[in-house]
Amino acid sequence: MANPLLSDRNVEFLLREVFDTAGLLELPAFADHTLEGCEMYVQNARKFAREKLYPAYKPMDEAPARLEGGQVYVHPLMRELYPRMVELGTITATRPASVGGAGLPIFVATLANSYLMAANLSAYGFFGLTTGAGRLLESFGSPELQQRYMARMYSGEWTGSMALTEPHAGSSLTDVKTTAKETEAGHYLVRGSKIFISGGDHDMTDNVVHLTLARIEGAPPGIKGVSLFAIPKKRFVDAAAGAGALVPNDVQVAGLIHKIGWRGLPSLALNFGEENDCHGWLVGEPHRGISYMFQLMNEARIMVGLNGVSTASVAYQESLEYARTRPQGRPLTAKNPDAPQVPIIEHADVRRMLLRQKAIVEGGLCLVATAARFNDVAEHGATKEEGADAFALLDVLTPIVKSFPADYVFV
Ligand SMILES: Cc1cc2nc3c(=O)[nH]c(=O)nc-3n(C[C@H](O)[C@H](O)[C@H](O)COP(=O)(O)OP(=O)(O)OC[C@H]3O[C@@H](n4cnc5c(N)ncnc54)[C@H](O)[C@@H]3O)c2cc1C
């Protein structure tokens, strides 16, 4: 039997019985949605995940992206999946109608995304990153940057990436060294090297917008001197008007980083400004880059936790099917050595291990869904107090959600 990825009954249990989804939809921000509409969104994601994404997982993992002549080429299956996932609404499901989104609760999108991630985390990665990059511009970018970059990422015309990490600056982003020099034309000239940039280049769309941390010349040292920039792989010839043909913006792919797993999503080393011609546009105010990142930290933590839960779920379903079909040994009470072997799921210790997996997956999904629901109320609570209470609870919960993959699955 094909791997079902998640237990539908469990997802429906969360949607209909554990959480008061109908109550959530009474908040003014979700007034346009019905419970049936939310269920349909989850069902569409489930169907697509099972029929299209999961069958592409193995081929994409076996033949990862290639780097040729400075250009990254993804697996042909990923190129086919990309427009279908845009159509499914994956990028803008939770964004408001004012920016072209469906305005669904993050809680509902979380349940839908659990199927997409369980089926093919690499394919989902392009979308999670694009939403994240667009979201930074939606929250902190100028109307021009929103029109030029956010709108094109939200429509799926271009994708986005997060370019934070440098060879010497991983956990410690305080040590970011990439520099940005202001010009009279309104843009900055950016120079520096980034590593581990997921989805930082590909051949699915004409352009990639890198939301990049860099230090403006003369900025204070440490965390309070790091700014956020939008840096496209290709810029418009008429940069001031955001119009005309697209020309290279001096962003070079320096190398492909090989990974164990999650190989369908390229991870790259990028060099900005090797020819001193990389144009970047400041997002928000100078020196506030890290604080902008942190304001979206709770959503990022929910996504990372869901990665872990979804991966654990698809592994559990694999174990379950194997245990149901692998014959080995006989029950302890069987006296006849010629009696047929039983499937290993009949053995108490195998059942114990399967139940442990099941408890981790179901408890983990419930935990992530709880955080997602708090996030919805924190952002859209009916009263200020309701929102503040949910935000406080979310802040307590998300560090636990984020550590889910490491603490509960792999240990
Ligand atoms: C699959 C994957 C995708 C990624 N995608 C992106 C991306 O798209 N964009 C991007 O910018 N980056 C990306 N990264 C990079 C990621 O952000 C960094 O790996 C991360 O910030 C950690 O940095 P590091 O690998 O240099 O580890 P280090 O910072 O060197 O940490 C190594 C270990 O030391 C611990 N440690 C470090 N400092 C401390 C401290 N002060 N106290 C206690 N413990 C500490 C860490 O917890 C860790 O266990 C990705 C990484 C991975 C694995």
What does each C-alpha distance from 282 to 75, 185, 288, 297 come to in angstroms? 33, 13, 10, 20
Atom of ligand 1 nearest to the CA of 198: 8
The pair of three-digit structure tokens given for residue 186, joined into one six-digit string: 């309104």
Give the SS3 label for residue 191.
Answer: strand
Q: How far is the CA of 142 from the centre of ligand 1 (A)?
A: 30
Q: Which of the listed residues 61, 196, 270 should we mutate to test ligand 1's pocket, taking the one with most ligand atoms within 8 A of CB? A: 196
The domains of the chain, with CATH numbers, are 8-144 (1.10.540.10), 160-288 (2.40.110.20), 296-409 (1.20.140.10)
Q: List CB contacts of 365: < 8 A, sequence separation 6 or more.
A: 6, 10, 11, 14, 114, 309, 313
The pair of three-digit structure tokens given for residue 396, joined into one six-digit string: 């307590």
Question: Among candidates 262, 256, 292, 233, which has minimal Cα distance to 126?
Answer: 262
Enumerate residues lining ligand 1, CB below 6 A: 161-165, 170-171, 196-198, 262, 267
Q: How far is the CA of 198 from the centre of ligand 1 (A)?
A: 13
**Alpha carbon 208 to chain centroid distance?**
16
Specify the pLDDT at position 295.
82
The pair of three-digit structure tokens given for residue 357, joined into one six-digit string: 């997996």
Specify the pLDDT at position 411.
41
Specify the pLDDT at position 357.
96
Across the chain, which has 411 residues, the per-10-residue mean pLDDT values are 95 96 96 97 98 98 96 98 98 97 98 98 97 97 97 98 96 95 96 97 98 97 96 91 90 94 95 98 97 87 94 97 97 89 97 97 96 96 95 90 64 41
Q: For ligand 1, atom 47, which residue shows the shortest CA distance? A: 171
Specify the pLDDT at position 406.
58
